[in-house]
Amino acid sequence: MELILVNIIDGLVTGLLLFMLSAGLTLIFSMMGVLNFAHASFYMLGAYFAYEISTYLGFWMGLLVAPLLVGVVGAGVERYGLRRVHQYGHVPELIFTFGLALLIEELVKFIWGNDQVPYQIPEILEGAAFTISSYNIPAYKVFMIFLSLIIFGGLLYVLTKTRVGMIIQAALSYPRTVEALGHNVPLVFMGVFGVGTALAGVAGVIAGPVLSTFPGMAFVLGSIVFVTIVIGGLGSLGGALCAALIIGWLTTFAKAYNVRMEDILTGIGFEKPEPLWDSAWSDLWTLTSPQIADILPYLLMVLILVFRPYGLFGKRDV
């Protein structure tokens, strides 16, 4: 029972982190219709910027300044890169962001080198916040959960209750009309892109110390973020949250509980082949759930795309 609770918290941390990345991505997609392949690269930039700042001014300044910097870089990319490529169509846009992801990774390697950088959690958040029977829950995880929830709340408030949020929502569905009403839609686009990448930056700042900050960190998380928003339904913020949590819990539980294929197969009534190593099916028999935990999200995405292309909460086709 206690183990379940611990895993729920762990899954929540992963899920909320994924959500912070996918929230920005799904906003950008619903606005511009382009899947930003480089989104996870901005997450990586967030972590690296925060590391660089934290060596001079400490973790908290990094948390404050790095996302802003990432947002500025993101807005610049939209203004001078994407807007230019936009005229060629959606596929070149997608390819542009793909190239950008490569370029950012190479730039990071160029500046900070190929190895992991020693980006640490602040001293005040070291140690355990509380214990569940014998399991310690680190304070940093609690901090991550709270920060993500605050950001989600803030985002929801801005989007639904403020004037800016209304304009953004209107520009999502009818950009032409909004423009005709006298709003500067390209500026709104740039702003949303900047905020979306800044959110990814925040995720990078807080995930950097626990998931380690290295040039491959964008690649590791990049495709999972796509999976999240595709499962949740493109353009749906609630869907992104839901899918992020599902993926977080799915992978955490698959890793924590060692479900073995052998038990399932014998449970159904198959005979275990002897000797096992000689059998063509030996890989199937030795399969365990921690082994496949990381590919479960992809499996889920392919199934979703085949049977329900709108995703869980999406309204329109991808």
Partner 1 sequence: MTDISQNPQARQHGGVTLRVAMPWIVGAFLILVLPFVFQSNSAITIMNQMSITIIFALSYNMLLGQGGMLSFGHAVYMGMGGFLCVHVMNWDMFGSLPLPVLPIFGGIMGMVMALIIGSFSTRKAGTVFAMISLGVGELIAACSVIIVVFFGGEEGISGDRTYGMPFLGYEFLSQIEVYYLIGFWLFVSALLMFLFSRTPIGRMANAVRDNPERAEFLGYSSRWVRFNSFVAAGFFAGIAGGLFAISYEILTEENLNLVTSGSILLVTFLGGVGVFFGPIIGAIVFTLLQTVLSLETEIWSLYVGALFVATVMFFPSGLAGVLMMHAPAFKLGKWQMLIVPYIKTLVPAALCIVGIAGIVEILFHARHSAVGETEMTLFWITFDHTSIMPWIVFAVLAIVGFWITRKTAPDLVEAWHAATTPDEVSR
Structure tokens at 111: 């500046």
How does DSSP assign 237-300, residue by residue?
Answer: HHHHHHHHHHHHHHHHHHHHS--BHHHHHHHHTPPPPSSGGGSTTHHHHT-BHHHHGGGHHHHH
The verdict on 309 binding partner 1 (CB under 8 A) reads yes
Quick one: which of 7, 9, 72, 81 contacts partner 1 (CB under 8 A)?
Answer: 81
Work out the burial of residue 113: count CB atoms within 10 Å of its CB; fewer than 13 is exposed, 13-18 middle, 19 or more buried.
exposed
Nearer to partner 1, 43 or 59 (CB): 43
The verdict on 158 binding partner 1 (CB under 8 A) reads no
Structure tokens at 73: 């870089």
The verdict on 152 binding partner 1 (CB under 8 A) reads no
Contact set for partner 1, span 199-258 (CB under 8 A): 219, 223, 226-227, 230, 234
Q: Which helix or strand (DSSP H or E) is residue 93 part of?
A: helix 90-112
Q: What is the CA radius of gyration of the chain?
A: 21
Nearer to partner 1, 109 or 183 (CB): 109
Question: Could you tell me how many residues of this chain bind partner 1 (CB under 8 A)?
Answer: 46
Q: Min. distance of Cβ 150 from partner 1 in angstroms?
A: 31
The verdict on 275 binding partner 1 (CB under 8 A) reads no
* Spatial contact of 99 and 35, defined as CB atoms under 8 Å apart: no
Calculate the alpha carbon distances from 50 to 95, 107, 158, 207, 259 in Å.
28, 16, 25, 11, 39
The 109-128 contact track toward partner 1, x by CB under 8 A, reads xxx-x---------------
Interface residue list for partner 1 (CB under 8 A)? 35, 81, 84-85, 88, 90-92, 94-96, 98-100, 102-103, 105-107, 109-111, 113, 219, 223, 226-227, 230, 234, 280, 282-283, 287, 291-292, 294-295, 298-299, 301-302, 305-306, 309, 317-318
